């Protein structure tokens, strides 16, 4: 699904075309009237040319404005097409991002890096309520971990949305707790407040700047 929020409807240019057609007709009529009056004026009392010059200048200004509106209309249509094409390229892709992911009875690869000074690290899995469902000791020098989808007692965990983090320790001291990332499918892309926002199959919404890796969806 592709949506754009907070953006105006792309103009079709019909109104501008109509405005320009009417302006051209009025300008031609004005020139004909001016020519007739100039031919039939009294040589002893010539017409005041300053008024006609002023009207000519006003017609010229309006014509330039209509041309500018036409250019803006074409530019807006072009940018709109580019934005939609860019949004469409995200939908259906798998992106690696630190956000809740969807688990469906298949092992999940999780990405994280322990603190450089840590001598112990634990991968922590939480459900959509924030409760810890699994805690696994992992090598501090690894950055990819496979979560089988079982709890601390080895029982299968039901399908649903989960999140992960990596806790780093030095001895008994906890150094940090970093959000871990996983691949999720993009189901919607939208433009909001100047940024592209991706909606994942877990329901999480993330700005495109947080994406760490992208691959073609299976």
Q: How many helices (H) and strands (E) does the chain have?
A: 2, 13
State whether 151 and 131 are in the same domain.
yes
Domain of 165: which CATH number?
A: 2.60.40.4070
Q: At which of 34, 57, 88 does a domain end?
A: 88
Residues in the chain: 218
State whether 117 and 198 are in the same domain.
yes
State whether 97 and 148 are in the same domain.
yes
Which of 65, 61, 84, 79 has its CA nearest to residue 4? 84
State whether 46 and 134 are in the same domain.
no
DSSP assignment of 181-213, as one string?
EEEEEEEEEEEETTEEEEEETTS-EEEGGG--E
Specify which residues 108 forms β-bridges with: 147
The half-sphere exposure of 211 on its side-chain side, counting CA atoms within 13 A, is 21
Q: What is the pLDDT of residue 3?
A: 46
164/78 Cα distance (integer angstroms): 41
State whether 9 and 102 are in the same domain.
no
Task: Say if residues 68 and 86 touch (Cβ distance below 8 Å).
Answer: no
State whether 106 and 203 are in the same domain.
yes
Q: What is the DSSP letter of 149?
A: S
Q: What is the pLDDT of residue 216?
A: 87
Which of 186, 183, 181 has its CA nearest to residue 93? 186
Q: What is the pLDDT of residue 49?
A: 63
Q: How many domains does the chain have?
A: 2
State whether 51 and 103 are in the same domain.
no
Handedness of CA 171, 153, 126, 100 (dihedral sign): positive
State whether 68 and 115 are in the same domain.
no
Q: What is the dihedral of CA 113, 114, 117, 119, to 10 degrees?
A: -130
Task: Say if residues 63 and 99 touch (Cβ distance below 8 Å).
Answer: no
Q: What is the pLDDT of residue 29?
A: 72
112/41 Cα distance (integer angstroms): 89
Placement of tokens 């934005």 in the chain: 83
Task: Say if residues 123 and 135 touch (Cβ distance below 8 Å).
Answer: yes
Specify which residues 197 forms β-bridges with: 190, 207
- 10-residue stretch averages of pLDDT, the chain, 218 residues long: 45 52 62 70 65 63 66 54 72 95 94 96 96 94 94 89 97 95 94 85 94 86
Backbone angles phi, psi at 22, to 5 degrees: -65, -40
Q: Collect all residues with Cβ–Cβ distance below 8 Å to 108 and sequence separation of at least 6.
A: 101, 146, 147, 149, 182
Range(s) of the domain holding residue 84: 2-88
């Amino acid at each position: 699904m592709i949506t754009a929020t907070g953006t105006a409807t792309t103009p079709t240019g019909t109104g501008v075309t109509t405005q320009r057609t009417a302006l051209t007709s009025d300008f031609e009529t004005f020139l004909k009237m001016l020519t007739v009056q100039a031919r039939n004026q009294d040589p002893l009392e010539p017409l005041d040319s300053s008024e006609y010059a002023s009207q000519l200048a006003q017609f010229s200004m309006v014509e330039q404005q209509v041309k500018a509106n036409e250019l803006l209309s074409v530019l807006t249509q072009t940018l709109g097409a580019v934005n939609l094409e860019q949004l469409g390229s995200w939908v259906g892709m798998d992106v690696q991002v630190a956000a809740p992911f969807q688990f469906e009875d298949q092992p999940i690869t999780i990405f994280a890096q322990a603190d450089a000074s840590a001598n112990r690290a634990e991968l922590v899995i939480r459900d959509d309520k924030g409760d810890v469902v699994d805690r696994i000791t992992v090598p501090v020098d690894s950055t990819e971990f496979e979560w089988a989808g079982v709890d601390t007692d080895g029982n299968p965990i039901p399908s649903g949305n989960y999140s992960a983090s990596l806790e780093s320790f030095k001895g008994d001291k906890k150094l940090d707790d970093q959000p871990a990332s996983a691949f999720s499918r993009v189901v919607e892309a939208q433009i909001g407040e100047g940024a592209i926002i991706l909606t994942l199959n877990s329901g999480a919404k993330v700005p495109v700047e947080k994406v760490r890796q992208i691959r073609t969806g299976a």
